[in-house]
Amino acid sequence: IEPISTTIAVGMAATLTAFLASYQNILYYFHECCRPEWISFNRTGLEADLQRKLFGQHIASRIILKAVNGFMSNDNPKKPLVLSLHGWTGTGKNFVSKLIAENLYKEGMDSSFVHVFTSTLHFPHPSQYDTYKTQLQQWIKGNVTNCERSMFIFDEMDKMHPGLIDSIKPYLDYYEKLDGVSYRKAIFIFLSNAGGDSIIKTALEFWKAGRNREEIELRDLETLVSLSVFNNNESGFYHTSLIDRHLVDFFVPFLPLEYRHVVQCVLAEMEARGLKPDQEVADIVAKDLVYFPKSERVFSVKGCKTIESKLDYYT
Ligand SMILES: Nc1ncnc2c1ncn2[C@@H]1O[C@H](COP(=O)(O)OP(=O)(O)OP(=O)(O)O)[C@@H](O)[C@H]1O
């Protein structure tokens, strides 16, 4: 028979443990942490968002869903997921990154596990590249140590200094661990306008031939875009160091947006603002944008980018 004091002590310890466990659960509930309560992939959510909210991007939509779904279904990926999103301005590259984040993190883009860098904003001074390099590496390491399911979005990748690109290369590779940290469950998304011209050229050829835009396939774009990115002075290094070395898993082209897509963007923006979608106003806003090439006026120069501010003016 145990002495009564031991029984009381065991009982108190059990109560304390239960209290701490429930306190921790409450904490997990209210404070974002690196756990499935806060990070879990909603496949049907992403599929529905891509279908309903992303306009005119049948190729990107398909690749993104396949890539993210495949990666998130694999409990033991051999490398982090690296997506490279290319295309003309305002065609939805940032928007898609947001949709991915929203279907992965409960807090979406506000999650403390989603990190965005913009080359010209975060790394503006060429003289400080060595400092940026160290900071960036420490930062990636720190964040992935904190949560292996971290997401890093690099905007304006084509303007990023070669030295900085070099400094992130190891994290994208097949290493099991680097200095004790595994980067295999992280997601890296690179955004750039590189290759945009070639994508437009192909889209325009289809349009001129009277072919349906949805007939454009990845293989119609891949080689051409690849070559144009490669031959571009600014983005050439990005290409040779990441794409050619197979560190990028998916190359995702974004097509230039046409008038009808701009109209869809305006209607979606009205809905988002709680306004009744008004086709007439949508047409007025869409007509107010500039389209190119000059003679045919097929694609919106700014994609859907200025819709938000234009709508303020018309409503
Ligand atoms: N294909 C699209 N479908 C739906 N909305 C879009 C699309 N493209 C752009 N938009 C709208 O326009 C806004 C601006 O687009 P976004 O920032 O994604 O463009 P981007 O391709 O990243 O441009 P940039 O290369 O200039 O950074 C988005 O927030 C979204 O509301």
What's the pLDDT tens digit per position in 175-184? Answer: 888 888 999 9
Q: Are residues 148 and 233 in the same domain?
A: yes
| Count of domains observed in the chain | 3
- Domain coverage including residue 135: 43-254
Q: Are residues 26 and 47 in the same domain?
A: no
Q: Are residues 171 and 109 in the same domain?
A: yes
Q: Are residues 223 and 298 in the same domain?
A: no
Rounded to the nearest angstrom, the distance between the alpha carbon of 257 and the centre of ligand 1 is 10
With respect to residue 150, please indicate whether it lies within any of the assigned structural domains: yes
In sequence order, what are the residues at sequence separation of 6 or more whose Cβ sits closer than 8 angstroms to the Cβ of residue 62? Answer: none
Burial of 122 (0-12, 13-18, 19+ CB in 10 A): middle
> Which residue's entry shows tokens 């496949």?
43
The predicted structure's pLDDT at residue 75: 93
Between CA 11 and CA 292 the distance in angstroms is 76
Among 55, 37, 138, 135, smallest CA distance to 95 is for 55
Among 249, 230, 289, smallest CA distance to 64 is for 249
Q: What are the beta bridge partners of residue 114?
A: 151
Q: Are residues 177 and 291 in the same domain?
A: no
**Residues lining ligand 1, CB < 6 A?**
53-57, 87, 89-95, 191, 193, 257, 265, 303-305
What number does the ligand 1 atom closest to the CA of 56 have? 1
Q: Tokens at residue 217, please?
A: 């396939």
With respect to residue 161, please indicate whether it lies within any of the assigned structural domains: yes
| Residue 56: C-alpha distances to residues 83, 177, 256 (Å) | 19, 39, 8
Q: Are residues 240 and 220 in the same domain?
A: yes
The predicted structure's pLDDT at residue 166: 83
Could you tell me if 172 and 82 are in contact, meaning their C-beta atoms sit under 8 angstroms apart? yes
Residue 115: which H helix or E strand, with range? strand 114-118
Q: Are residues 245 and 284 in the same domain?
A: no
In sequence order, what are the residues at sequence separation of 6 or more whose Cβ sits closer than 8 angstroms to the Cβ of residue 137? Answer: 167, 168
The predicted structure's pLDDT at residue 157: 86
Instruction: Name residue 277's amino acid.
Output: P
Rounded to the nearest angstrom, the distance between the alpha carbon of 95 and the centre of ligand 1 is 5
Residue 284: which H helix or E strand, with range? helix 279-287
Rounded to the nearest angstrom, the distance between the alpha carbon of 19 and the centre of ligand 1 is 48
The predicted structure's pLDDT at residue 233: 63
With respect to residue 235, please indicate whether it lies within any of the assigned structural domains: yes
Which amino acid residue places its CA nearest to atom 17 of ligand 1? 94
Q: Are residues 247 and 264 in the same domain?
A: no
Q: Are residues 173 and 301 in the same domain?
A: no
The predicted structure's pLDDT at residue 163: 80
Annotated binding site: 87-94
Last residue of a domain, one of 216, 233, 254: 254
The predicted structure's pLDDT at residue 244: 61
DSSP letters, 37-52, are: TTB---HHHHHHHHHH
Q: Are residues 59 and 177 in the same domain?
A: yes
The predicted structure's pLDDT at residue 190: 93
The predicted structure's pLDDT at residue 312: 83
Residue numbers in the chain where pLDDT is lower than 50: none
Between CA 177 and CA 5 the distance in angstroms is 49
**For the domain that residue 240 is a member of, what is the CATH number?**
3.40.50.300
Q: Are residues 189 and 284 in the same domain?
A: no
With respect to residue 37, please indicate whether it lies within any of the assigned structural domains: no
Among 49, 22, 61, smallest CA distance to 253 is for 61
Which amino acid residue places its CA nearest to atom 4 of ligand 1? 54
What number does the ligand 1 atom closest to the CA of 193 have? 25
Rounded to the nearest angstrom, the distance between the alpha carbon of 13 and the centre of ligand 1 is 56
What would the pLDDT profile of 119-144 be if each residue is shown by its tens digit? 888 888 878 888 989 999 999 999 99
With respect to residue 36, please indicate whether it lies within any of the assigned structural domains: no
With respect to residue 38, please indicate whether it lies within any of the assigned structural domains: no
Q: Are residues 19 and 62 in the same domain?
A: no
Give the ipTM.
Answer: 0.99
